[in-house]
Structure 1
Amino acid sequence: MRRTRRGPLVVFLLGAVLGLGAGCEPIDVADLENPLGLSDTTCYRDSDCAPNGCCGEATNPTHVSEAPSCVGVRCDGTCAPNTIDCGRCIAVCRDSRCASACQ
């Protein structure tokens, strides 16, 4: 007896149609403002860049040589909106300059 392969194909097509039909709204690129880097110092890798503040209160990325030392700083666990840290952005090296990569 010959088995048909229509079952998996139908399930695949149904999933594709439903997945495409339930898509997301377009993202407005104007809403995704990445904080600009403050430093003109050349970076070579992501570890050369850091936030310009401690405890999630940074507003821009900068080179580690110009970043504040957060050793001994006690944080209270709060996070101001639109700061670079607190899960919103990370400091990265892009085109040899410190920049931010935001979610």
Structure 2
Amino acid sequence: MKTITTTELEALLQADDSLNLIDVREVDEYAGGHIKQAKNVPLSEFGAKVDELDRSKPIHVICAAGGRSMNASAYLDSLGFDVTNVDGGMMSWQGEVE
């Protein structure tokens, strides 16, 4: 499975703000601050919502520290998605948050 640092993610977002970024933190965590382009799909609801994800583009997955996103990324990888886990998660993110 592919991984990326938050610094690399920030550079990708500056180049393409339509990047398919999924934040798997719970709703309250997401509401407390998230990357503008991130769509919230909580890990607790992930299995039920996986069919709603866009398979046409690569998916980047982020959480708070990298553990939950690693689990979600492994699951998506097993389903044949082009997926990249964001190492360090929001705890490592230095960019802007909403």
TM-score clears 0.5: no
Task: Give the TM-score of the pair, scaled to structure 1.
Answer: 0.26
The one of the two structures with greater contact order (alpha-carbon pairs below 8 A, sep at least 6) is 2
Q: Which has the higher helix share?
A: 2
